[in-house]
């Protein structure tokens, strides 16, 4: 595996590119991540979450030497983030094949790896990005895999997903899998909340993203769009960060 080496000037170039290209909500996620706080984010589809975490993971791997692990429902899906990392590299003049299926190794020894739900990743450690866990076959199991890799105190766990109808995934989002739930759990957190369990939670809908400068969703999200592309219930899941279908779902916990 050929290692990637970055000069100080190229690192500065990465930061400059991010500052010029990132939207406000992406910068918020990044700032929170710099504190080492665990993040649990609900987000609309197609607002650039993978792009942001690709940048964050690459920069952290370069500057700290920590390993970075992207975990989602399939390794093929996780490799989407690899393509974003390759593009960041290209911007600053580091040649990386965006179509390669290999993990990435930096000159300082940091590994950026990509895993699916069925991966055997128990021996790995590092910062972990668990994406779209709400759509996993077994959300609880994939969460345990992620927590196992990020259990060292110098590593950070980030969860981000679009809601599904999975009650288990909803309980991961609101934190009730890890502690007794005595109050009605939150279903939506507009501006971000530092919760009592030490986790930063935030919901960013399609409208929120647009209001914060996002330009990735240029289509008008009105009645005609809904009728053509999604049912009202599907639209709530995919673009409005609405966990209510999962909260009311009486499925057996996995």
Which residue, chain included where needed, has tokens 């940048």? 55
Q: What is the pTM of this model?
A: 0.91
Q: How much is the pLDDT for 252?
A: 47
pLDDT score of 180: 56
Domains in the chain: boundaries:
3-247
Which has the closest alpha carbon to 143: 113, 108, 112, 168?
168
Asked if residue 219 has pLDDT above 60, the reply is no
Q: Class of 3-247 per CATH? A: alpha beta
Contact 44, 238 (CB under 8 A): yes
Compute the average pLDDT of residues 62-87.
97
Mean pLDDT of 40-46: 95
pLDDT at 221 over 70: no
In angstroms, the CA 14 to CA 54 distance is 11
Whole-angstrom distance, CA of residue 60 vs CA of residue 54: 10
Residue 102 CB neighbours (<10 A): 12
Q: Which residues contact 14 (CB under 8 A, 6 or more apart)?
A: 6, 55, 58, 59, 62, 88, 91, 92
| Tokens 């996620």 sit on residue | 29
Phi–psi pair at 202, nearest 5 degrees: -155, 145
Query: Tell me: the pLDDT tens digits for 86-122?
Result: 999 999 999 999 999 999 999 999 999 999 999 887 7
């Amino acid at each position: 595996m050929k290692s990637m080496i970055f000069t100080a000037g190229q690192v500065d170039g990465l930061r400059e590119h991010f500052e010029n290209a990132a939207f406000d909500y992406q910068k918020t996620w990044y700032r929170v991540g710099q504190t080492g706080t665990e993040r649990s984010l609900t987000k609309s589809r197609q607002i650039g979450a993978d792009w942001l975490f690709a940048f964050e993971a690459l920069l952290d791997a370069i500057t700290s030497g920590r390993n970075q692990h992207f975990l989602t429902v399939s390794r093929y899906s996780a490799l989407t983030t690899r393509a974003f990392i390759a593009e960041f590299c290209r911007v600053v003049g580091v040649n990386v094949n965006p179509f390669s299926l290999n993990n990435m190794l930096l000159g300082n020894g940091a590994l950026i790896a990509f895993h699916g739900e069925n991966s055997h990743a128990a021996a790995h450690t590092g910062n972990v990005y668990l994406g779209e866990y709400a759509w996993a076959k077994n959300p609880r199991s994939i969460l345990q895999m992620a927590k196992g890799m990020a259990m060292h105190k110098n590593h950070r766990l980030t969860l981000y997903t679009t809601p599904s109808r999975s009650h288990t995934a909803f309980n991961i989002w609101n934190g009730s899998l890890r502690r007794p739930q005595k109050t009605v759990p939150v279903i939506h957190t507009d501006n971000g909340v530092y919760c009592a369990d030490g986790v930063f939670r935030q919901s960013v809908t399609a409208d929120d993203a647009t209001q914060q400068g996002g330009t990735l969703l240029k289509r008008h999200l009105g009645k005609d769009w809904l009728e053509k592309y999604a049912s009202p219930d599907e639209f709530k899941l995919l673009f409005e960060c609405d966990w209510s279908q999962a909260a009311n779902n009486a499925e057996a916990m996995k």
